[in-house]
Amino acid sequence: MVALTLKWMEHISIDKVWLSVVMVFVMTWAVNSNQAADSMNFTFTALVDIAPFILVSVLFAAYAKATGLDQHVAKIFKGHPARAITMAALFGALSPFCSCGVVPIIAGMLGAGVPLAPVMAFWIASPLMDPEMFVLMFAVFGMEMVVMKTLAAIIMGLSGGAITYFFVKRGYFKRPLKEYKSCQNSSCSSSNPLESGKIIWKFWKDETRLKSAVSTFSETGLFLFKWLALAFLIESLMLAYIPADEIGRWLGGQAWWSIPFAVLAGIPAYLNGYAAIPTVSGLIELGMSPAAGLGFMIGGGVTSIPAAMAVYALVQRQVFALYLFVGVGGAMGMSFLYLTYLNL
């Protein structure tokens, strides 16, 4: 037990992510002990809330890898790219995941061999809309803005998937996930018996497959847990120290440039989920145009800094750059489209 504890302490002491978590918390405590306590409670609560999604996605990834199911899932999606991207975008627009909550899901999908294009479609669309948000937004903003945000979720998901598929077909993004340390050994080589093409449902009877399941579960779970812990800690500080109402005053008015500024401001402001609805309503009352308000919501929902941190740790830099391009570009494009409609 002591040896195991020392091993974990050694891992934490040399891991830059855990060190960052400790340093951010210590600095926060030195400046404001009450905020440090609030941030600790916020981070703990957020991790508990997201734990079921992490557990399910990691279990699925481990099971799919150990049984060989991942190879067959990947083949199914590769055979029907247009249908897969469309289904992923529509499902994403109806799913109840926030920008951070979707990270474990995409990790499990990519780990199971699902092609990047439909994953990107789901990834972009998912944080933007779900049935409950549709009803709440309708009560506050009316049908017009709700429809625009729903269309934004679907169109951005489809566009993200299509753009990703365009690059994948030309040889880009062959390995979207960042490699874990375990993939530097022979277990990830082309001679791996897990890549035989056969599905072995009772994988625990095969020692190699059992080790693969345990390794995938532990490494992927720890990877997601530590990065989301840092993301949620930073999110708590952003919510505490970045006043959304002041940003709204800076971005008030009907000028065209208010849209790109609103999209970019929505990223650090971290407007996500249901809390964004009354906040954006207040910003519009302060003078922000509805089109800029839409961009503010989309920018914060898709590419918020906490979610972007977790995504950056998960995927290769080129994939991360594409994710930012689709998120920011899509938010601006849909906002300008809404502005054009309002000016008709």
Task: Please write the tens of the pLDDT for every residue from 299-342.
Answer: 877 777 767 777 887 888 899 999 989 988 999 999 999 988 88
Q: What is the largest CA-CA distance in the chain?
A: 71
The C-alpha angle with vertex 83 and arms to 173 and 179, in degrees rounded to 5, equals: 25
Calculate what percentage of the chain has a pLDDT beyond 70: 73
Phi, psi of 108 (to 5 degrees): -65, -40
Q: For residue 1, what pLDDT band results from cuts at 50, 70 and 90?
A: very low
The more confidently predicted of residues 66 and 321 is 321
Written as six digits, the tokens of 33 are 């002990």
Nearest to 271 by CA among 200, 331, 205, 201: 331
Tell me the range of 114-123, 184-193, 293-302 where mean pLDDT is highest.
Answer: 114-123
Do 130 and 268 form a contact (C-beta atoms < 8 A)? no
Written as six digits, the tokens of 212 are 């693969």
The more confidently predicted of residues 286 and 311 is 311
Per DSSP, the residues of 169-218 read: HTT--SS-BPPPGGGGSGGGSTT-GGGSS---S-GGGSHHHHHHHHHHHH
Is 218 among the domain residues? Answer: yes
**Amino acid (one-letter) located at 17:** V
Over residues 25-54, the mean pLDDT reads 87
Residue found under tokens 């190879």? 71
Is 17 among the domain residues? Answer: no
Phi, psi of 40 (to 5 degrees): -65, -45
Tell me the range of 162-171, 215-224, 256-265 where mean pLDDT is highest.
Answer: 162-171
Phi, psi of 315 (to 5 degrees): -115, 170
Is 78 among the domain residues? Answer: yes
- As for how many domains the chain has, the answer is 1
What is the rounded CA–CA span in Å between residue 295 and residue 259? 6
Is 10 among the domain residues? Answer: no
The pLDDT of residue 258 is above 60: yes
What is the rounded CA–CA span in Å between residue 36 and residue 42? 10
Q: What is the number of other CB atoms lying within 10 angstroms of the CB of residue 42?
A: 18
Q: 55-64, 169-178, 195-204, 207-216 — which is least confidently predicted?
A: 195-204
182-228 pLDDT per residue, tens: 443 334 433 444 454 567 777 777 777 778 778 878 877 787 788 77
Q: For residue 14, what pLDDT band results from cuts at 50, 70 and 90?
A: low
- The pLDDT, as a whole number, for residue 38 is 92
Phi-psi region of 270 (alpha: psi -120 to 50; beta: other; left: phi over 0): left
What is the rounded CA–CA span in Å between residue 215 and residue 302? 31
- The pLDDT, as a whole number, for residue 263 is 82
- The pLDDT, as a whole number, for residue 100 is 61
The more confidently predicted of residues 24 and 306 is 24
Do 235 and 99 form a contact (C-beta atoms < 8 A)? no
Is 185 among the domain residues? Answer: no
Q: For residue 276, what pLDDT band results from cuts at 50, 70 and 90?
A: low
Phi-psi region of 113 (alpha: psi -120 to 50; beta: other; left: phi over 0): left
The more confidently predicted of residues 139 and 160 is 160
Is 231 among the domain residues? Answer: yes
Tell me the range of 179-188, 243-252, 254-263 where mean pLDDT is highest.
Answer: 254-263
What is the rounded CA–CA span in Å between residue 149 and residue 201? 42
Written as six digits, the tokens of 306 are 């906490």
- Mean pLDDT, the chain, rounded, equals 76
- The pLDDT, as a whole number, for residue 248 is 56
Is 15 among the domain residues? Answer: no
**Beta bridge partner(s), residue 315:** 177
Written as six digits, the tokens of 269 are 């402001």
**Amino acid (one-letter) located at 330:** G
- The pLDDT, as a whole number, for residue 241 is 78
Is 55 among the domain residues? Answer: yes
What is the rounded CA–CA span in Å between residue 22 and residue 34? 16
321: containing domain: 33-175+201-343
